[in-house]
Amino acid sequence: MTPLDEIAHYADVGFLVEAQLDHKIMTVRELLELEVDTVVWLTRSAGENLDLYVGGTLLGYGEIVIIENSMGVRITDFREEG
């Protein structure tokens, strides 16, 4: 029996998957001053990978893809354990 066979009964368990581009700490004042079309500057550059979290744990990395009128994430790499 393979490891995948051993956990097959968990195949339909749901997980929260998050794609995080970056994060920024802001004060309440800064949040209240935001208006429509405001640009919030982040530390990452265009084209950099997104961090992919599953259940709050960093799983790997991805990039934004646009397919017709939808947005998705292409997984580009999995995090190495260590």
pLDDT digits (tens, 9 = 90+) for 19-72: 998 889 999 999 999 999 999 988 888 778 899 999 889 999 999 888 898 988
Q: Is 12 helix (H, G, I), strand (E, B) or coil?
A: coil
Q: Give the CATH number of the domain where residue 36 resides.
A: 2.30.330.10
Residue 5 within any structural domain of the chain:
no
Q: Is the pTM of this model over 0.75?
A: no
Dist CA 72 CA 67 (whole Å): 8
| Per-residue model confidence as pLDDT tens digits over 60-79 | 999 988 889 898 899 999 98
Dist CA 15 CA 53 (whole Å): 10
Whether residue 11 has pLDDT greater than 90 = no
> Which residue range(s) make up the domain with 44?
13-78
The phi, psi pair for 81, rounded to 5°, reads -75, 150
Q: Which amino acid is located at 38 in the chain?
A: T
Residue 20 within any structural domain of the chain:
yes
Place of tokens 């997980």: 15
**How many independent structural domains does the chain possess?**
1
